């Protein structure tokens, strides 16, 4: 019989617990798929006595994480989490000791991925991370191994289930962002500290990994423009619907003639297109692969079973001997991403203002837009409030983002406009 693949599992929480349980309960099926037995060599977490919903008393327990990286395991599965600290130390030590590594840790890879890929390559071992981007969706494998022939023009995705759940519920109930966030926390769809999710940071971590795979750049997180969903109002969601759009938090990486345009931002996507129909905690990624066309991937982006499914796929790959380059090409061939100038961001924009209900206001706003070279496709003015404020919404024709920002600065300085305005790019595909 082929030699078993010996696996050390670090972290036994949502994902690690799922992986340990699956390795045991699906032993014979996974043996058949991997061509050799998959054997747990050692496990570790913080609290040995915690009930983890499965019996692990017969498995060797490591009190010191270093034991996983230096023992007789072939693969170390890092499911602790965190950008640095114990997870990073474990992965570095494991790779240096010629252990293959499987991880779901997007924060760590978005910050240290290029260096870790070099370390893995130098030691001739795999570093796999299917679960780190879009959970159970096999998007890492697709970008690394499948969609190669014609290159990639763009990757656009809903990569954070918490944000998608919140936006879906805001549309369904008309409730404010803060109320829906509180509900999501109660249901376990949002963390007690939701900043990384709702601020767009988690989406940016995943986008850094997907753009490294798609465009051959280092997974450099710093040059991604990031905007979260906390300023989205039920009013914007209602107007989006009236115009036939839905607001989604998208991670977008697009090749332009002047560089790579990478951003995370609330975007209006046209109803009836694949990303608009992704609801609740689901994730989806659209890959535009040159002449091969667009490909749509959709599924669960988080949770025990979807994430376990992705981690097990990586383990089985390693058992079969598939240890290809971490980001799909040699680490030394990954270039530093050259960010596209903001002028390269051209789209129609949704603009929303609160302005005094007075004659001349509309022509003043449209005049400032015209001065910036922006023409208006359609417009709604809602309500009548003599002496008070009304809501004005405009949809522009295609125009560059900097022109819109310039115009908004002038408009917001007007004594007829109240509070901050809102701009959201619109995507029709």
Ligand X SMILES: NC(=O)c1ccc[n+]([C@@H]2O[C@H](COP(=O)([O-])OP(=O)(O)OC[C@H]3O[C@@H](n4cnc5c(N)ncnc54)[C@H](OP(=O)(O)O)[C@@H]3O)[C@@H](O)[C@H]2O)c1
Candidates 206, 241, 248, 416; catalytic one: 206
Q: What's the min distance (Å) between Cβ of 157 and ligand X?
A: 14
Which residue, 90 or 142, has its beta carbon nearer to ligand X? 90
Nearest distance from C-beta of residue 129 to ligand X, angstroms: 9
Min dist. Cβ of residue 340 to ligand X (A): 28
DSSP string, 45-109: -S-TTS--SS--TTS-B-SSTHHHHHSS-SEEEE-S--SSHHHHHHHHHHHHTT-EEEE--HHHH
For 72, counting Cβ atoms within 10 Å of its Cβ (0-12 exposed, 13-18 middle, 19+ buried), the class is: exposed
Is 101 among the residues that bind ligand X (CB under 6 A)? no
- Helix H or strand E encompassing 13: none
In this structure, what token pair is assigned to residue 395? 């949809």
187 binds ligand X per the rule CB under 6 A: no
Instruction: Output the CA angle 45-49-52, nearest 5 degrees.
Output: 70
Beta bridge partners of 225: 263
- Is position 81 an interface residue for ligand X (rule: CB under 6 A)? yes
Residue 80 contacts ligand X per CB under 6 A: yes
Q: Which of 11, 157, 200, 201 binds ligand X (CB under 6 A)?
A: 11
Query: What six digits make up the tokens of 92?
Result: 């570095």
Q: Which DSSP helix (H) or strand (E) runs through 365?
A: helix 361-371
Q: Which of residues 59-78 bind ligand X (CB under 6 A)?
A: 65
Q: How far is the CB of 404 from ligand X (least distance, A)?
A: 35
- Contact between 105 and 82 under an 8 Å Cβ cutoff? The reply is yes
Residue 50 near ligand X by CB under 6 A:
yes
Measured CA to CA, the distance from residue 142 to residue 140 in angstroms comes to: 5
Question: 206 an active-site residue?
Answer: yes
- Quick check: 79 binds ligand X (CB under 6 A)? yes
Concatenated DSSP letters for 108-136? HHHHHHHHHHHHHHHTT--EE-GGGTTTT
Residue 369 to residues 170, 356, 362, 376, 397: CA-CA distances in angstroms?
Answer: 30, 18, 11, 8, 11
Q: Which one, 44 or 424, has the nearer CB to ligand X?
A: 44
**List 4, 71, 86, 199, residue binding ligand X (CB under 6 A):** 86
Query: Which residue is closest to ligand X by CB?
Result: 13
- Mark 282-311 with x for binding to ligand X (rule: CB under 6 A) and - for no binding: --------------------xx---x----
Which one, 307 or 389, has the nearer CB to ligand X? 307
Total binding residues for ligand X by CB under 6 A?
24
Q: What residues from 123 to 142 belong to the interface with ligand X (CB under 6 A)?
A: 131, 135
Binding site for ligand X (CB under 6 A): 11-16, 44-47, 50, 65, 79-81, 86, 104-106, 131, 135, 302-303, 307
Question: What positions carry a catalytic annotation?
Answer: 206
């Amino acid at each position: 019989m082929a030699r078993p693949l010996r696996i050390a599992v670090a972290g036994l929480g949502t994902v690690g617990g799922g992986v340990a349980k699956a390795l045991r309960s699906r032993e014979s099926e996974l043996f058949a798929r991997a061509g050799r037995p998959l054997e747990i060599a050692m496990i570790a977490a913080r609290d040995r006595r915690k009930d983890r919903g499965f019996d692990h008393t017969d498995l060797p327990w490591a009190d010191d994480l270093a034991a996983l990286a230096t023992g007789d395991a072939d693969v170390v599965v890092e499911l602790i989490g965190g950008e640095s600290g114990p997870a990073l130390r474990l992965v570095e030590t494991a790779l240096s000791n010629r252990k293959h590594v499987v991880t779901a840790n997007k924060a760590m890879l978005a910050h240290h991925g290029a260096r870790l890929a070099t370390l893995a390559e130098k030691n001739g071992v795999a570093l796999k991370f299917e679960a780190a981007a879009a959970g159970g969706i096999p998007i890492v494998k697709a970008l690394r191994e499948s969609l190669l022939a014609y290159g990639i023009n763009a990757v656009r995705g809903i990569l954070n289930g918490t944000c998608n759940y919140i936006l879906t519920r805001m549309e369904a109930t008309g409730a404010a962002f803060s109320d829906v966030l509180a509900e999501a926390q109660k249901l376990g769809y949002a963390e007690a500290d939701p900043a990384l999710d709702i601020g767009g940071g988690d989406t940016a971590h995943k986008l850094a990994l997907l753009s490294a795979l798609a465009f051959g750049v280092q997974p450099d997180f710093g040059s991604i423009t990031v905007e979260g969903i906390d300023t989205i109002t039920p009013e914007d969601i209602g107007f989006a619907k009236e115009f036939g759009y839905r607001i989604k938090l998208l991670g977008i990486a697009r090749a332009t003639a002047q560089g790579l345009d990478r951003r995370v931002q609330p975007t209006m996507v046209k109803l009836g297109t694949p990303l608009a129909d992704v609801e609740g905690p689901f994730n989806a990624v659209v890959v535009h692969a040159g002449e091969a066309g667009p490909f749509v991937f959709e599924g669960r982006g988080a949770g025990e079973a979807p994430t376990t499914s992705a981690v097990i796929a990586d383990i089985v790959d390693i058992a079969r001997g598939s240890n290809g380059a971490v980001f799909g090409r040699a680490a030394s061939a990954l270039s530093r991403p050259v960010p596209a100038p903001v002028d390269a961001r051209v789209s129609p924009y949704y603009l929303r203002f609160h302005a005094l209900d007075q004659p001349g206001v509309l022509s003043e706003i449209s005049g400032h837009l015209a001065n910036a070279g922006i023409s208006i496709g359609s417009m709604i003015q809602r309500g009548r409030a003599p002496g008070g404020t009304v809501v004005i919404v405009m949809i522009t024709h295609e125009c560059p983002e900097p022109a819109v920002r310039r115009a908004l600065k002038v408009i917001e300085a007007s004594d007829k406009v109240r509070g901050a305005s809102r701009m959201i790019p619109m995507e029709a595909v």
